[in-house]
Amino acid sequence: MSLTVVRRTLAAALLPLLAALGGCQGGGHVDVAALNYRDIDPPPPNITRLDLDRCFWWTDEQDHVWIAMERDQPFLLGPEHFLFQLSLALDKPPAGRSRNYLASNRELRGVACFGPAQSRFVSVAGIVALYREPGERLRGSFRLDVMRHAQQFLGGWNRAGRYLMLGTFDAVKDEQQGRRIAAATEAHGWDREPPATQPATQPTSQPAIQPPTRPTPPPAP
């Protein structure tokens, strides 16, 4: 048997296995577009598409469903890499085939990092849809208005900008991996308020999210 035939035979045998392994991670894509409400005739929106490496779902102690997804893209020319992570905290899973969820300030948290640069995303309004699929999978889509907070080079955060975020995903059930991603989206002061069905741990008159700020250094002696 020639070497070419052997290679083709191995490739044919491995392709289904690789596809199955990729399916165990879930996937999807997210489109992000800046919204400009300051100009009467703004330029066309610049849409960025992010293909997801993995997407997971699970339910918490209150039987609320969570979705967490990420893209981790290394660069060959240096140690930096681009990391995008997003989590959705919703109500209970679909009782039947599907369910729509209206979103406000609590549902989405996201973070994008490239080297030391960092942006944070918080939902404002929108809708999320979930569909049950065989094999404990959840398929879904979302269309959300979000606020983007970009970290300044010397600390602090720029004035928030408004963006439209649209996505589709296919999530596999994995609580451990999902919680890892969700924790990153809520880190450093970007955590969510408790759901309306849970008692609040802080006065409800406080803003739902406050960008973290660097502590003020002590005065020089």
Handedness of CA 181, 185, 191, 197 (dihedral sign): negative
Q: Are 165 and 146 in contact (CB under 8 A)?
A: yes
Residue 81 lies in a domain: yes
**Tokens 């720029």 sit on residue:** 158
pLDDT digits (tens, 9 = 90+) for 186-210: 998 999 988 875 443 343 333 334 4
Judged on CB neighbours under 10 Å (0-12, 13-18, 19+), 56 is buried
Range of the domain at 73: 25-186
Total of domains in the chain: 1
Residue 161 lies in a domain: yes
184 three-state secondary structure: helix
Residue 30 has pLDDT above 60, yes or no: yes
Q: How many angstroms separate the CA atoms of 67 and 163, rounded? A: 20
Residue 209 lies in a domain: no
Q: How many angstroms separate the CA atoms of 101 and 106, rounded? A: 12
Residue 208 lies in a domain: no
Residue 214 lies in a domain: no
Q: How many angstroms separate the CA atoms of 190 and 42, rounded? A: 31
Residue 18 lies in a domain: no
Considering the entire predicted model, what is its pTM?
0.76
pLDDT digits (tens, 9 = 90+) for 92-121: 999 999 999 999 999 999 999 988 889 999
Residue 10 lies in a domain: no
CA angle 190, 110, 201 (to 5 degrees): 30
Residue 122 lies in a domain: yes
Q: Tokens representing 137?
A: 């999978």
